[in-house]
Amino acid sequence: MSATPLLELRGIDKSFGPVQVLRDVAFAAHAGEVTALVGDNGAGKSTLVKCISGIYPTDAGEFLFDGRPVTIHSPRDAAALGIEVVYQDLALCDNLDIVQNMFLGREKRNGLVLDEPTMEQMAAETLAGLSVRTVKSLRQHVSSLSGGQRQTVAIAKAVLWNSRLVILDEPTAALGVAQTAQVLELVRRLADNGLAVVLISHNMNDVFAVSDRIAALYLGQMVAQVKTTDITHAQVVELITAGRSGSLGLSAEPGTGANGNGGGTLPADSTTGGAR
């Protein structure tokens, strides 16, 4: 789609003491696209997200936002750029209603007094903009919502602030079939509204259902970032588990002993010319 990615990372390194978690990671997220970030447990997905959202400082590498180099030192910097993260464990307050949750920590005020009508109006507009029709009243407590509705509120909360990049950490992990479909539809709609969306997921069906690009992390290295249409289910699984798949991923190293069984079958399937 667009020529310059909204967010581009180059050569990101991150270590915790002696453990190097991210090694020379390059990553791009384009406006209007859903980029799926996949990888096994411990591959560095969460660390990468926390680097993007300013929770962890990076050791090396550059951030380009809108083509301009930027530095992100804190979550506040990320929020100022329009980067919002929706965490796995939702971070909603059960005892507050939808509007109160969406504006939590950033309430609109008239002097000292909370400006409830404005907040309610903005929340209604945001939900309408996302074509959310599943909530009965904006003033119902979050405790009375289903899992899918809660996820919807969490996503709407991220979108409310004119955000440009929304990162979703396993938004469907705890949901049933119907609710998953509902949330995926919402994720797609975010991208169609022009936002850059990064979707972290373990579920290949979800990834193939909504993503435009897939970025695979393997042991702290970005092994491939390709268009979803250019790659198969099996190849993604292979990238996640072995770090390479045919011409994709890490070049065959002498050190990797595990590529004997899986790597052998795939070179025949060489339809992956679209890889960059």
SS3 178: helix
| By the rule CB under 8 A, 250 interacts with another protein | no
- In the DSSP assignment, the letter for residue 54 is T
Considering the complex, state which of residue 15 and residue 146 has its C-beta at the smaller distance from another protein: 146
Per CB under 8 A, the list member of 60, 80, 104, 258 interacting with another protein is 104
Residue from the set 3, 19, 112, 268 that interacts with another protein by CB under 8 A: 112
| Largest interatomic CA distance in the chain | 68
Choices 143-151, 184-192, 194-202, 206-214; region in contact with another protein by CB under 8 A:
143-151
Helix-then-strand count for the chain, H and E: 9, 14
- Return the amino acid letter for 210: V
- Residue 121 sits in the site that holds another protein (CB under 8 A): yes
Q: Which stretch binds another protein (CB under 8 A): 11-19, 177-185, 216-224, 256-264?
A: 177-185
Which residue, 73 or 133, has its beta carbon nearer to another protein? 133
Residue 231 contacts residue 276 (beta carbons within 8 Å)? no
Beta strands in the chain (DSSP E): 7-16, 19-29, 34-39, 60-65, 68-70, 83-86, 109-110, 113-114, 165-169, 196-200, 213-218, 221-227, 244-245, 248-249
107 counts as binding another protein under rule CB under 8 A: yes
Examine residue 80 and tell whether it contacts another protein (CB under 8 A). no
Query: Footprint of another protein on this chain (CB under 8 A)?
Result: 75-76, 87, 89-96, 100, 104-107, 109, 112-114, 117, 120-121, 124, 127-128, 132-139, 141, 143-144, 146, 148-149, 178-179, 182
